[in-house]
A and B are shown apart, each in its own frame.
Chain A
Amino acid sequence: MKILVCISNVPDTTTKITFTPDNKQFNTAGVQFVINPYDEYALTRAIELKEAQGGTVTVLNVGEADTEANIRKALAIGADDAVRINAKPTDAFFVATQIANYAKAENFDLILMGKESVDYNGFQVHGMVAEMLGIPSITPGVKLDVNGNTATVQREIEGGHEIIDAQLPIVVSAQQPMTEPRIPNMRGIMTARTKPLKVVEPTGSETKTEIETFALPPQKTGVKMIAPENAGELITLLRNEAKVI
């Protein structure tokens, strides 16, 4: 089985978020970048499938050279080889185009990625990639098994789960608890040094979105306590101050 896992580089979840003075870009100064946590579920599950059934796992990232430390981490966890599409991941359409263009020629049986990246939380790339390749997409997957040419994916739906069988090739997006993400071991880190990491130039530059401005969510304000005997005041405040009714 030939598996492609797409990973993105995202700020560590403890990062303090700031923007450039014009509020048009996220300020990356001093920010630690990690593999998108949802992608780690996809990566680890891909490696488990490879270990159980044979095959290869290729990891792909659309990013500039500074993402290579995290690509090496993916190789250390157990991917066989890596591809970096040498471009800034400007928006979901652009990233999906790059992934689809690369995947077209490679005939992957399974394309896995996180359900979304934890920076922009777009939840779009998997669907776009599948559409561009003309194959099904199942999202968000919480369980994934492959038997011969059939993938069985359990996905979350409102109030329950849905179990879907699909013929390969497909795109599946991952979220917990698909598996437990692996911590790279020292042997893996050492062998990752010599695994192939191919840099490919992007094809096209079309994007579908443009950032107008960024703003931080409003600071949390204190809680107003209202005595039970003044319940009517709550209605007044909700109407006049919070303006929600």
Chain B
Amino acid sequence: MAYNPTEFLDYYNIDDLLTDEHKLIRKSIRDFVKKEISPNIEKWAQDAHFPSEIVKKFGDVGAFGPTIPEQYGGGGLDYISYGLIMQEIERGDSGMRSTASVQGSLVMYPIYAYGSEEQRNKYLPKLASGEWLGCFGLTEPDHGSNPGGMLTNIKDMGDHYLLNGAKMWISNSPECQIAVVWAKNEQGRIKGLIVERGMEGFTTPEIHNKWSLRASCTGELVFNNVKVPKENLLPNIDGLKGPLGCLDSARFGIAWGAIGAAIDCYESALKYSLERIQFDKPIAAFQLTQKKLAEMVTEITKAQIMVWRLGMLKNEGKATTQQISMAKRNSVDMALHIAREARQIHGGMGITGEYPIMRHMMNLESVITYEGTHDIHLLITGADVTGIQAFK
């Protein structure tokens, strides 16, 4: 039987593996994106404008921390649901998905997993509702793939910590109310702290002139003798596994999200190729176009199966860091490749803001680097299968 396309690309009937609730979640976020993001995203991206009003809307629809228990304002949903939410937001735009996944996986998750009950109650409901936007400070100007080399540090001053250092490439930083910051203590151990806007010596300069994620705000975090109250230290974590645990959660979301960007590129390319006439027939009738389209739908399908399985493993608490690395790397590479092929199919139109292709492509150039670069994720797999670390 001929493949019957629906609103959600599903060549392998993967929908049969989803519950009605999963499908309702996906459809609801799709409708939200079509209403709140898609009509405006090309202009926001062209203008390098972060629509700060989207934060409250994300909170209202429940895109922030959907896996966090409801008593803290989260959705109490499973990881397949989280993945589908990220997929549908990124089908709109990777920058918008970044805003949501930073808030959920890199800010709410560590406060939930490593924080005290007081910290959970103080911060999570405001983050879930979108009243507050948070950011995550790990990467430094000179320490990206090697976060353990960080220079940002805290000194125990008795009744508070004194925080010094700087973080770079921080999504949400210019608009954040709080930052989850990773810093070394005097013993060289990595600790997590919640830094609040308004603390003296804490500034968030914006990074301008990005060619990527232009609708998301990115900046630095600068700490100049910031006095952080002792109760703002995350008590239940010590060492690099703290931030890496957060990244597992965020990378899982990216593995799903990038599929959304790929689907948007594929669907646009398919439609364009059926409408664009050259040599008296649609360009979809040419073998080289069909090769591109057929490979796109094949790669998307493979990635969909991979992330679905990863989601099931995550629901069971069995997904390993290495499995998440493989999926993140595979999905983003696949999406970027599809964006470039889709750009070819769109011809000259593909470089304009009339179509989403070039925006997705430029966005994915960030996504393939952030939260573990394409190469580092490969080396994580390499280390896992050989038992030999090749990245240091």
Chain A neighbourhood of B60, CB < 8 A: 185
Of the stretches A69-77, A122-130, A167-175, the one at the interface is A69-77
Complex alpha-carbon distance, A189 and B77, angstroms: 9
**From residue B76, how far is it (CB to closest CB) to chain A in Å?**
5
Question: For residue A30, which residue of chain B has the nearest CB?
Answer: B4
Interface residue A205 (Cβ < 8 Å from any Cβ of B): no
Complex alpha-carbon distance, A72 and B66, angstroms: 18
Residue B200 interfacial (CB < 8 Å): no
Contacts of A188 in B (CB 8 A): 62
Q: Which of A69, A72, A186 contacts B61 (CB 8 A)?
A: A186
**Which listed residue, B28, B63, B77, touches A184 by the CB 8 Å rule?**
B28
* The one of B7, B35, B66 that contacts A186, using a Cβ cutoff of 8 Å: B66
Contact A189 B20 (CB under 8 A): no
Interface string of B21-49 (1 = CB under 8 A from A): 10111001001100100000000000000
**Of all chain A residues, which has the CB nearest B61?**
A185
A198 at the interface (CB under 8 A from B): no
Q: Report A181-193 CB contacts with B as 1/0, cut-off 8 Å.
A: 0011111111001
Bound Cα distance from A186 to B4, whole angstroms? 29
In contact, A189 and B61 (Cβ under 8 angstroms): no
A187 to B28, CA, bound (A): 12
Q: Is residue A32 contacting chain B, with contact meaning CB distance below 8 A?
A: yes
A72 x B20 contact (CB < 8 A): yes
> Provided the pairs A30-B4, A32-B6 are in contact, do residues A186 and B23 lie with their beta carbons within 8 angstroms?
no
Contact status A184-B70, CB under 8 Å: no
Mark A18-30 against chain B: 1 for CB-CB distance below 8 A, else 0.
0000000000001
User: Please, how many angstroms separate the alpha-carbon atoms of A189 and B78 in the complex?
Assistant: 12
Give the distance in Å from the alpha carbon of A191 to the alpha carbon of B61 in the complex. 14
Interface SS, B side: helix
Given A30-B4, A32-B6, residue A186 in contact with residue B21 (CB < 8 A): no
Distance, CA A72 to CA B20, complexed state (A): 9
Task: Give CA–CA (A69, B24) in the complex, Å.
Answer: 8
State the interface size on chain B (CB cutoff 8 A): 23
CA distance A30 to B4 in the complex (A): 8
Q: How far is the CB of B125 from chain A (nearest CB, A)?
A: 12
Closest residue on chain A to residue B30 by CB atoms: A183
Task: Write the nearest CB–CB distance from B287 to chain A, whole angstroms.
Answer: 28
Chain A residues with CB under 8 Å of B23's CB are 69
Which residues does chain A contribute within 8 Å of B77, judged by CB atoms? 186, 189-190
On whether the beta carbons of B70 and A187 are closer than 8 Å, the reply is yes
The answer to whether B166 has its CB under 8 Å from any CB of chain A is no
Do B20 and A185 touch across chains, with their CB atoms under 8 A apart? no
Q: Least Cβ distance of B89 to chain A in Å?
A: 12
- A189 touching B85, Cβ below 8 Å: no
Task: Map CB proximity to B onto A55-79 as digits: 1 under 8 Å, 0 otherwise.
Answer: 0000000000000110011001000
B75 at the interface (CB under 8 A from A): yes
User: With the chains together, A230 CA to B70 CA distance in Å?
Assistant: 74
Whether A69 and B28, one on each chain, are in contact in the complex, defined by CB atoms closer than 8 angstroms, is: no
A184 pairs with B21, CB closer than 8 A: no
A189 touching B24, Cβ below 8 Å? yes
A70 and B99 CA atoms in complex are apart in Å by 30
Residue A189 contacts which of B4, B7, B28, B32 (CB distance < 8 angstroms)?
B28
Question: Do A76 and B62 have beta carbons less than 8 Å apart?
Answer: no
Minimum C-beta distance from A180 to chain B (A): 9
CA distance A27 to B208 in the complex (A): 55
Interchain CA distance A186-B86 in the complex, whole Å: 13
Whether the Cβ atoms of A72 and B32 lie closer than 8 Å is: no
Partner of B21, one of A30, A183, A189: A189
Q: Are A69 and B20 in contact, CB atoms less than 8 angstroms apart?
A: yes
When distances are taken between beta carbons in the complex, the residues of chain A under 8 Å from B21 are 72, 189, 193
Tell me how far the C-beta of B214 lies from the nearest C-beta in chain A, rounded to whole angstroms.
26
Closest 6 CB pairs of A and B: A186-B62, A186-B75, A69-B20, A185-B62, A183-B31, A185-B61
Q: Which residues of B approach A to under 8 Å, CB–CB? A: 4, 6-7, 20-21, 23-25, 28, 31-32, 35, 60-63, 66, 70, 75-77, 81, 85
Given contacts A30-B4, A186-B81, 12 further A-B pairs with CB under 8 A are A32-B7, A68-B20, A69-B20, A76-B24, A185-B61, A186-B63, A187-B62, A187-B75, A189-B28, A190-B70, A190-B75, A190-B76
